Every structure is written in structure tokens, then in C-alpha cells.
Amino acid sequence: MTDPLGVLREVFGYPAFRGPQAAIIEHTCAGGDSLVLMPTGGGKSLCYQIPAIARHRDGRGVAIVVSPLIALMHDQVGALEEAGVHAAFLNSTLDAAEARAVEEEVRTGRLTLLYVAPERLLTPRFLAMLDSLRERGLLSLFAIDEAHCVSQWGHDFREDYLGLSVLHERFSGVPRIALTATADAHTREDIVARLQLEDARLFVSSFDRPNIRYTIVEKDNARSQLLRWLRDEHAGDAGIVYCGSRNKVDETATWLAAEGFTSLPYHAGLDASVRRDHQDRFLREDGVVMVATIAFGMGIDKPDVRFVAHLDLPKNIEAYYQETGRAGRDGEPADAWMAYGLADVVNQRRMIDESPAAEEFKRVQRGKLDALLALAEAHDCRRVRLLSYFGEPSTPCGNCDNCIAPPETWDATEAARKALSCVWRFAQHPGGPSRFGAVHLIDVLRGKVTDKVTQFGHEALTTFGIGADLSEAQWRGVIRQLVAMGYLHAEGEYNTFELTPDARALLRGEVTITLRKSAERARGGKRGEAKARSSAATAHLHGEALERFEALKAWRATVAREHNVPAYVVFHDATLAQIAQIAPGTLLELADISGVGAAKLERYGPDLLEVLDE
């Protein structure tokens, strides 16, 4: 047998395999079936390309790679050809003569890899060609890329993938390797069943992408938030901005271009030649920002994408992970940034509810959305929650927004009960609609007399004005999180609220909820005040005090990882800032610092003094 490591070094110029690559490749070269779960940028392609090359050199013929995207086929074939490996594709971009020429190379055994879409593979003509190859011993393996597309539970189901069970039924002696970057336990089971991989060996790599920093912000003029973030963090960088609709893609791309960015739209409504041109520019030019729907991205092998931003909520965590995973494939620092709000939650829930799918499918999709909403609303480590979804245990990363700047939380049980009670009283009040939306709900809670409040007599409700102690932004946060947590349900064209069955326990005081504190709306002078408040903890630190603060934060991050807790559980920023400013030299002096209790003094005191001394 040809040595796979020799192929790696000779053909691809890499000195050694990474992670489980060696075991996967050895198993495939030996003729075994496998299901490979490996994150984007982990080297999935080599897991079938090297066996294909090795088995071809051993006289076993051509490898058939099933790929869902024409662009991916073109990129892979181009890269292989550059590396001296003879590969080709069969798809709609070829005319009849070109397709016949490729088929002839397949029949003669000259090709090492052939990329084909599932719908092409399932045609009688193509299956007959495969039968001929198998009879002559010239069919080396089948690679099924983006295998999650076969699962109706996944985020990118493609019906043509269902027919790929024919590979096991008709070509049982040919090894198969199915690969994907995203599949929870439910989707994995579906892949195994639908592709008949029950006897295949399962290879699961870590889903962690430690170079990606995850940030999720509450929507407050998302365009302004995105623009500020891009200019502050990613001026001149290549990246992707995902939007939920074609119109929004076009509008956002035009707006970013007017703001000085090289931005291009990409969605299925554009002419194929335009999409191809825009993708080529993104892959080849520096600093291009692609604004796209989810039609863009699968299989994109651009290593230096420095950011992926979402202006709308994805459907589930698999989609979020797949899309954010397109950043930082080179292992260098990259960002995943998302802005989300109440409308995102309502729209995603409505799309599931109004889907013609079976109730079981809807139930699973609601569960997946709930997991994504829990990630968005989390006040602990984002990465821990993300990896936990895929069944992988981890510790706080120190490289997500919640780890870097731990959010403040509050007991929102009473506020939540007020909001739910107000919704209930809307339904009981005579002389008007029984359901209202967020704006009216907040007006009533805050005791704001508007034409609508007067029209329906809601100033007479016992809940009128009971929430005057909270700002409009705070109430928006409460309501958004009540919808996200399943206590409120929005219905109809105007997103009016009704209570869910779960709301009863909260209204009765049987459960409590802790929520993130919502950021105040940043406008004019208020924006400056909010900024001043947020930086008050460290604004007074300079010189050596600032150096001490940074050293203390680094120490805190290490401790948090070791103890598997969020950073703020160790000490808040304000406490560290005070320690840095005062620089206590003894445990007695340290005990006087706000936030240093007896237990923490005993547990961490000596270490803190050592950090300060250093």
C-alpha cells in the first residue's frame, strides 16, 4: 500500500497529520467505512483526498466525491490540480462535449478524484458508469461531503442526498467516508441511518475553535452597531455579513459600500454569473466583505476570513456554528459577532409554527431554536454552551464576550411577573383586542398615556404604571427574554403576545428567573453617559495601576478556567480595579476591598498579593 504520510508530505507539503487525520486516513485506505465529524478548518478534505490518491496509486481507480455546491467543486479541483493531482468535476457548468471528455477520463482510470452533485450521481447514466468501473476494479472510494445535508433534522437538508443510500446497496464493496463539520446527536443518528453507515467507524474531533472570539449583542440600531464594530475591530479585513433575506442583503451591501467598504451581495436571487463573479472576488481580493444569505459559504476555503457577523438570528446552533466557522480557518484570531433582538426570536418561532412540516419535526426544530436562544441570552461562557450542545465538555474560554467582560445579572422574577400579569389582564379587559404587542405592553407597564392606552381604557388596569421603575430598554430586554424562555408567545402579523402554559408557574411564584441587564439605548448624550459608566471601573487607572489591573485580569482568567467558572464568579472588574489602584500589601489591607469576602480572601488572597508583588 502507498504510504499516506508520504502522500501528505509529497503532494501537500505538510510534515505531519493533525489530530485524528492519521487514523481516519489509515482506516479509509484499508477499505473501511467512516463518519467523520471535524470542525471547519480541521482538515476534512485531506481525510478523503489522501486515501483517494493512495488507492489510485495502488491501481484502485477513481474516487467519487459527492459535493452539494458547484463553487466548492471548482475550488477543490483547482487546488488538487495545482498540487499535481488529476481531478475533475461533472456539473451544469460543462457543455456536452466537456462532460463527455471527463467521462472518458473516468472510464479509462486516468482521473484520481471526480466531484459530482448528488442529483447527477443518481442518474441512470452515471450509475451505469459506476457499475462499469466497479466491475473493472476502478472505483476506489466514495466521499460524501457536507453529510449533514442528508438529515431532515439538520440545518441544510437537501432531498437529493436521501438517494445516496444507493451507494451501500449497489456498491457495497467500495469504502465510503461521510464528512461534516456540524451534527448534533440527533443529526448523527440520521446520517448513519439514511446512508446505512451502521457498521462505519465514527471519528469525532473537538468542535472547539479557540481562535474565534464569540460576541452576541442586543440589537439597538444594528447597522450602527455593526459599522462601529467593523471600523473599530476589522477595518480592511475580509469577512462575511449574514442577513435573513435577499432584500436585506442588497440594502446592507449598498449601505456598507457607501460607508467605504468593499462590499458585495450574494444570494440565490442574483444571476449565476453575478454570484460567481462576487465569490471569485471574495476569494481572490483582500478586504472584501461579502453580505449574504445562507446561500453563501458552504465549502468556502478562504483561510483569512477575519470575521463573520450576523444581522439576523440563524435557525439553530448548527447553522450558527457552521457559518461562524468560516472565520479564522488559518488558525489566527477571528471574530464571530451577532446582533439579535425580540423580532428575531418572534420571526424564527413563527417560521417553525407556520411550517407545513410534521409536528415531530416542528418539536425538534423548536428545541434547536431554544438552544440557540439560550446561547444568545447566556451570561456565562459562550464557548462552554456551544460545545456542550455538541456533547463536548469544556471550561470557560476567556475569549468570548461574557468571559472578557462578564455581564451583570439581576433577579428579574418580579418584573417578569408584572409583564405576564399585564398580558393576562389585556385578555380579560372588555371592549378591545385581547392581545397587544411589545410597544403597547411597555407603555402600560411604565404608565405612559398614549392614544392607544386611552382608546382601550388600559389606564384603568391594575398593572398600569407598575413597571415605571424600569426603563424602556430594560423592559424590552425582559420581554425578549420571556419570549426566548418560552413564557410568552407572539402571534399574528403584529406580533401580539399571549401567555404560554409555562407562564403559570412563574406567575404563581413557583420559579425564579435571572436575566442579563440590558444595555441602555445609546443616543446622543445618553450614549456618552453609558460609555462613561461602563468604563468607570478602569477609567481612573494609569501607569503601573493599569498594568496591575491587566495582570490581575490575566490571573483571573487562569483561575476561572481551572475552576470551570465564569470570570466574574472569581472577582468583578470593579474589585480588580480597586485592588490595582490601592495595591494592598497585606491580607488585612486586601480584606478592606469591596468584593473580597472572607472565603475569597482565604482562597485567593496569597495569590493576589503575589500577582501584585510581581
Model confidence pLDDT, tens digit, residues 109-149:
889 999 999 999 999 999 999 999 999 999 999 999 989 88
Q: Domain 212-407 adopts which CATH fold?
A: Rossmann fold (3.40.50)
Place of cell 475569597: 600
Reported CATH class of domain 410-516: mainly alpha
- pLDDT of 533: 28
CA–CA separation, 287 and 261 (whole Å) = 8
What separation in angstroms does the CA of 90 have from each of 105, 142, 418?
12, 15, 62
Report the run of H or E that residue 62 belongs to, with start and end: strand 62-66
The number of beta carbons lying within 10 Å of the beta carbon of residue 535 is 11
Q: Which residue has the higher pLDDT, 338 or 349?
A: 338
What separation in angstroms does the CA of 478 have from each of 102, 313, 435, 446?
60, 18, 18, 13
- pLDDT of 26: 96
Span 311-323, mean pLDDT?
90
From 61-65, 551-555, 594-598, the region with the lowest mean pLDDT: 594-598
Check pLDDT > 60 for residue 569: no
Q: Looking at this protein, which amino acid is placed at residue 439?
A: V
What separation in angstroms does the CA of 85 have from each of 88, 110, 114, 136, 156?
10, 11, 11, 22, 30
What separation in angstroms does the CA of 198 have from each of 165, 189, 284?
12, 9, 41
Which of 34-48, 51-65, 325-339, 525-539 reaches the highest mean pLDDT? 51-65
Check pLDDT > 50 for residue 52: yes
Does residue 170 sit in helix, strand or coil? helix
Check pLDDT > 80 for residue 561: no
Distance of CA 531 to the CA centre of its chain: 28
Span 291-319, mean pLDDT?
85
End-to-end distance of the chain based on CA atoms, in angstroms?
58
pLDDT in tens, 479-491: 988 988 889 888 7
Closest CA to 200 of 178, 167, 169: 178
Q: What is the DSSP string of 570-596?
A: H--HHHHHHHHHH---SHHHHTTSTT-
CATH number attached to the domain at 4-204: 3.40.50.300
Q: Which residue has the higher pLDDT, 532 or 327?
A: 327
Contact 413, 578 (CB under 8 A): no
Span 361-379, mean pLDDT?
87
Q: Which residue has the higher pLDDT, 495 or 468?
A: 468
Check pLDDT > 90 for residue 4: yes
- pLDDT of 532: 32
Check pLDDT > 80 for residue 243: yes
Does 542-613 carry CATH code 1.10.150.80? yes
Check pLDDT > 80 for residue 475: yes
Confidence of residue 346 (pLDDT cuts 50, 70, 90): confident
Q: What is the pTM of this model?
A: 0.71
Confidence of residue 572 (pLDDT cuts 50, 70, 90): low
| 396's grid cell | 470557560
Confidence of residue 40 (pLDDT cuts 50, 70, 90): confident
Confidence of residue 540 (pLDDT cuts 50, 70, 90): confident
From 64-78, 224-238, 400-414, 559-573, the region with the lowest mean pLDDT: 559-573
Report the run of H or E that residue 139 belongs to, with start and end: strand 139-144
CA–CA separation, 582 and 608 (whole Å) = 13
Q: Which residue has the higher pLDDT, 41 or 212?
A: 212
Span 235-245, mean pLDDT?
93
Check pLDDT > 60 for residue 442: yes
Q: Where in the chain is the domain with CATH 1.10.150.80?
A: 542-613
